[in-house]
Structure 1
Amino acid sequence: MLSTRSLGCRGGGVGGSWGLPGVATPRIPDRQRIAQDIRDKISSGEYGPGFKLPSLREMSAHYGVSAEPVRSALLILQAEGLVEGHQGKGVYVAGDHPASD
C-alpha cells in the first residue's frame, strides 16, 4: 500500500503540500491573488474605511497584469461588500467616505 510519504507528500490531507517532482502546483488566478491581497490590506487596517484604492492603471502596473484581472478582483470584492465603486470618483473601502467636493 502506498503512503503519502512514498508519494513525496509533505503534510498530507486536504490542502497539504504535495511536492511531487516535475508536477507544477496549480497557479492561483491573478484576479483571486489581487482580491486576496486587497482583502489582507483591508483586514490589517492598511486600507481603512473610506480609503480610496489606487487607480486601475496603478494597480495594473503594481501587480504586473492587464486591467481585466484588476477589474475582476474589484468586482469580487464589491460583491463581498468590502469595496464600493463610485462612477468617475474611484473605488473605496466600504464604510465611511470623505465628504464630496
Structure 2
Amino acid sequence: MSDAILFAVEEGMARLTLNRPARLNAFNADLAHAWKDATAEATSRADVKAILIDAVGPAFCAGGDVIDMATTMGASGGEITALAEVINAGIRSLTESAVPVVAAAHGTTA
C-alpha cells in the first residue's frame, strides 16, 4: 500500500490515516488509489470490527489537489472524472459495509 495512507489493524480496529500533510491531505492519484485499496481491505477483513479515519498534519483533508491535477492530468477532464470514480469507490466501500466508521476530522475538512 502507498505511503499516502497509513493502514493498520489492531484489536479489531482498522485505522486509515491520510498522510499527505504538506498538501493538507488533498487527494491526488496516489492518495485516491491508496484510499480505494485501504477501504476495500478494511471492509473485507473478518477481523475488522470498526474503522477509524484520521489524518496527519494540520488538516483532515482539503479535498482534491487541484495543483497536482492541473499539472499531471489532461485538459479534457476525463482523467479527473476517472479519479473521482476511484475516490467514490472507496466511499462506497465504507457506506455499503456494516462495519462502523468514525472520522476523527480536524482542521480543514472538505
Q: Which has the higher helix share?
A: 2
Question: Using CA pairs below 8 Å that are at least 6 residues apart, which structure has the higher relative contact order?
Answer: 2
Q: Settle same-fold status: TM greater than 0.5.
A: no
